[in-house]
Structure 1
């Protein structure tokens, strides 16, 4: 009896040590993932055991319309400036006016370039970041107009996506929707690249969170690839 009791105790101690070792390895991996996320996403506040799995940015197609308008205006203004200031035409302008045309056109062209860059920065600032615990969305509509939404993954009931029209299917972008339990709120992220694969990945992340399971290396690697 004593031998059996001793063997059982040794077996139990070995199992406890194994669990502790596995827990230690897991905790070390969590620390490594968190440090990597903090280095890559310094503007994201993370809890002690939290790390980024995937970052979704808007598809470039959403900025193309603004870019075309800005480029058209740039060409028109630059052409007018060169035509009126340096090219001999039937339009005869006094020399003093010609000399001042640059003072008129150059600031407008410079302002147009600055506004185009600001619009691009604002557009790209819209993002959806999924960690192993939360979904964080930044909605930016202006330099001084930013809204942040935070959703616990455990409260997400449904993840879906929509692609409407030829353009969205042709350039493979759409809208990702996150529906929560209780208040029946739906959070949307427009111009999401490859929405079907990202919605599927988000579903796997949410499922792992609800089951209290760690994010697998496979999911983490896939999330990193989709974040590029």
Structure 2
């Protein structure tokens, strides 16, 4: 099935050192890589940033998976796109290079799926204004993300992601998953607030101590 997907289109920023920690930015449904790479100048300069275009064309933009409702991936589609993504990642970040996933909205569900499938692969995962991919064929048992650094950010006025999924994600990541979770809420809606961006930058600094400054 992955043969039907295009070669990855990637926008980059930050450090050009091929050994620098790689922060992969995953855009939301209907968006594209050029939108989310705009975060890079506001994040620690010592990390490298790669914004990958999702492989499924949708609504003038792109999506990470087919779904059966907002925030509810179809298991077969998610499995296929994760396989496609990991093929790219294995070339971009060979074993030993730290990889941090930062996903917004639909990209958050995709990042969460990658982490659930292989939690040891990643140095950290940020779930921004989105849901974990529950009921999509991935293990969500207690302790699944044991010790994994996670950032979860949500907006109290989010009218896009169903509240039940936001609440379930918050509960899973702050309690059940066993992750080392930093959790933040703001009064805004479905968009990355200035406060959440600051939390994200500080969280990445904690994962990449040498990148203690931002542009």
TM-score by length of 2: 0.27
For the pair shown, the structure with the greater C-alpha radius of gyration is 1
TM-score by length of 1: 0.26
More helix by share: 1
